[in-house]
Amino acid sequence: MGTIQQISVKEVIVVEGRNDTEALRRAVRADTIETRGSAVGPDVIAEVKRARDKRGVIILTDPDGAGERIRRIISREVPGCKHAFITREEATGDHGLGVEHATPEAIRRALTEARCEEGEPFAAGVSWEKYREAGLVGRPESRLLREELAVTLGIGYGNAKQFFRRLHLLRITEVEFEEALHRVGEDGADG
């Protein structure tokens, strides 16, 4: 029986807990920092800063409120991290929601598609006007459209304002946005 060679990840990956670390190690060879809850204390922030400066950091948290809170805190305190996202569907298991339930393939995809945030303004992004015209806010179907677009772009779901900010934070260009909208529209027409 042959062995599958695991991919090595240079960056340190921030996860919520030990079970997430175990799931990650089934997918890739990587070092992790565990936040051990959503409080994210100063010791964890210091560890993430050291890792960012030495090797780079990828944040991979659960696609739920607590995971988003952890992501926001670390992102605010330690700028320049990459962000990897798994969908709620990929993270749903028999006993809950979390990175620990994701398949190795879903974890590898998320890490491969990780995007870096930048601190400087991003002029090539989507305007609020274009965002509204696309139906991502203020319509009955807006939430579903944001969910589908999040999966297509690989950037994680958010409410209307959060998702708009995330498009800019992760430097999604207007061209990427329009291509993703087109793909979502084609998938919707097929289903």
Residues 159 and 180 in one domain: yes
Rounded Cα distance, 31 and 20, in Å: 12
Q: Is the pLDDT of residue 189 over 60?
A: no
| Residue 6 binned pLDDT confidence (cut-offs 50, 70, 90) | confident
Residue 122 lies in a domain: no
Residues 77 and 134 in one domain: no
Torsion of CA 44, 33, 78, 101, to 10 degrees: -120
Residues 98 and 159 in one domain: no
Kindly report the number of other CB atoms within 10 A of residue 26's CB atom. Answer: 12
pLDDT at 165: 87
Question: What pTM was estimated for this model as a whole?
Answer: 0.78
Strands 96-97 and 92-93, sheet pairing: antiparallel
Q: Is the pLDDT of residue 7 over 60?
A: yes
Residues 17 and 110 in one domain: yes
Domain that holds residue 149: 128-190
pLDDT digits (tens, 9 = 90+) for 64-87: 989 999 999 999 999 999 999 999
Residues 111 and 136 in one domain: no
pLDDT at 2: 47
Q: Is the pLDDT of residue 149 over 80?
A: yes
Tally of domains within the chain: 2
Residues 19 and 84 in one domain: yes
Give the chain's mean pLDDT. 89
Residue 141 lies in a domain: yes
Residue 179 lies in a domain: yes
Residue 1 lies in a domain: no
Chain centroid, CA 28 distance in Å: 17
Residues 67 and 153 in one domain: no
Containing 147, the helix (H) or strand (E) segment is helix 142-153
Q: Do residues 134 and 176 touch, judged by C-beta distance below 8 A?
A: no
For tokens 């936040």, what's the residue?
35
Task: Please say which residue of 61, 91, 116 terminates a domain.
Answer: 116
Residues 137 and 67 in one domain: no
Q: Is the pLDDT of residue 36 over 50?
A: yes
